[in-house]
Structure 1
């Protein structure tokens, strides 16, 4: 690493390489300190001196020693801080991802709680959007009751919530791009085991009710499919071969022992 110092930097702070190294060695020991890498001018009176780090496991890291100098011929250079910093090629921990953003479907165990934020864009007050699709008059009644009495669900899915769910389901294992669907003889929209949803997603999704299918009890898209389709039939060459006619055994035990 090589740095270029600003001409306006304090010359005493720039020249304090030995003082910076001495402070570093005093703090971490000489065995972890490598070559001098150059200065970084933080301010007119503040300079950071960089030294290579030779500590095992810290490839690409460097020591950063910041010094300051108060103007005056007899004023000493003071050491502000000594820290270990990662360089461009350093191995560092991945960026922190909050727990709420890390959790995935299937991660919850019995007893775990996953609160939903009050301002979650996937949900809206029921009185503002209505509940499950009803006719216009019934929707108005639902909104009025929920608003006046607080009955029913407090919140329901917003248009954004419906869109996110549809995109997630369609791209998942119950969508048309799943390997199972790609090899299926037909699609779910024509399967007798499909239980159609009601509401906003009814035109595109249903629930599989075939206990022999991989997707039993799961949401599937209308253009999903699998080999357990209700109308699938085996080709004649795949049908079980008929058993041969039984043969009546006329031999007796006495006849067998006589051989």
Structure 2
């Protein structure tokens, strides 16, 4: 057997895989030809054994298969049949996994009038006369004398905290990931008392989907108290705006004719002007 486990070059598995006729003969002997269908495959069990699978045509067992396990004890030994069993296939309808009766009730199953007793040694609860290491619980117990019969243990608080943190109103929910802010900064957030106050509280906003529920401080929704909506005019404003505070300049067209320079008029002094007037008067007198 040691040689088979250490020195096998694949020949043993080939021999086991080729033993289809031997496996069929074994299942026909147990079930009959009318309940055995086609060969559908072979599964390796270990170094010296394999299981051949045949379709089962048994009434009420649709999708099930016959499994015939064959083995080889030595290289010179013949292949033998170890067992023949009926097993479910990948599409077979099978019963769900068995769950103890005290664990079958899930969250949300409790209805009106139902009673669900607590286990005697439930780790989530401790007697109220023991210190619960929660200041809020100790304060209430002192004010009321002894207080309640049982209070939450540290295990119970951690269990609830883990469930709330990963639940619908925790930071990983779709609502929280798309929220503008978290509950820890919201005015509608009321923290819990005791050691849970650092991480959880109750929502009091009736618009929020978490109203009346325990929420994580990192949860959030679109009804946060500090959200401000920008109010704009309902009158549409044109996107194109003209700015008439600027002056546009356009260059003057160029002319082909040359501009002649202006000739400044000659200036005459007052003395020359008086002499000219005297000469004109003398010429006028000589004509008469």
What is the TM-score when the length of structure 2 is the normalising length? 0.52
After TM superposition, the structure 1 = structure 2 runs for residues 215-230 of structure 1, keeping only pairs within 5 Å, are 215-230=210-225
Give, in whole Å, the separation in 2 of the partners of 1:135 and 1:59.
57
Give, in whole Å, the separation in 1 of the partners of 2:179 and 2:203.
15
Q: CA RMSD in A?
A: 4.3
Give, in whole Å, the separation in 1 of the partners of 2:15 and 2:109.
48
1:203 match: 198
Larger CA Rg, structure 1 vs 2: 2
1:62 match: 66
Deviations along 1:66-92, whole A, 9 cap, x unmatched? xxxxxxxxxxxxxxxx99621675735
Q: 1:21 to 1:225 in 2, by over 3 A?
A: closer
* 1:32 aligns with one of 22, 32, 35: 35
Deviations along 1:112-137, whole A, 9 cap, x unmatched? 2222211221112222234963497x
Give, in whole Å, the separation in 2 of the partners of 1:95 and 1:121.
25
CA contact (8 A) 1:131 1:156 kept: no
Select between 106-115 and 202-211 the one with higher mean Cα deviation: 106-115
Give, in whole Å, the separation in 2 of the partners of 1:158 and 1:140.
14
Q: 1:3 to 1:205 in 2, by over 3 A?
A: farther
CA contact (8 A) 1:53 1:63 kept: no
- State the number of aligned residues: 192
Question: What secondary structure does 1:166 align onto?
Answer: helix
Q: 1:117 to 1:232 in 2, by over 3 A?
A: same
Gap regions ≥5 residues in structure 1: 5-16, 37-49, 65-81, 147-151, 243-259
Report whether the alignment pairs 1:174 with 2:169. Answer: yes
Give, in whole Å, the separation in 1 of the partners of 2:133 and 2:152.
9
Give, in whole Å, the separation in 1 of the partners of 2:189 and 2:108.
24
Q: What is the CA-CA distance between 1:163 and the residue it aligns to? A: 0.7
Question: What secondary structure does 1:201 align onto?
Answer: helix
Report whether the alignment pairs 1:121 with 2:119. Answer: no
Q: What is the CA-CA distance between 1:193 and the residue it aligns to? A: 1.2
1:9 match: none
CA contact (8 A) 2:53 2:65 kept: no
Give, in whole Å, the separation in 2 of the partners of 1:174 and 1:53.
49
Give, in whole Å, the separation in 2 of the partners of 1:3 and 1:158.
62
What is the TM-score when the length of structure 1 is the normalising length? 0.57
Structure showing greater relative contact order (alpha-carbon pairs closer than 8 Å, 6 or more residues apart): 1
* 2:182 aligns with one of 183, 187, 201: 187
CA contact (8 A) 1:61 1:90 kept: no
Gap regions ≥5 residues in structure 2: 1-13, 17-23, 40-51, 69-82, 236-288
1:86 match: 87
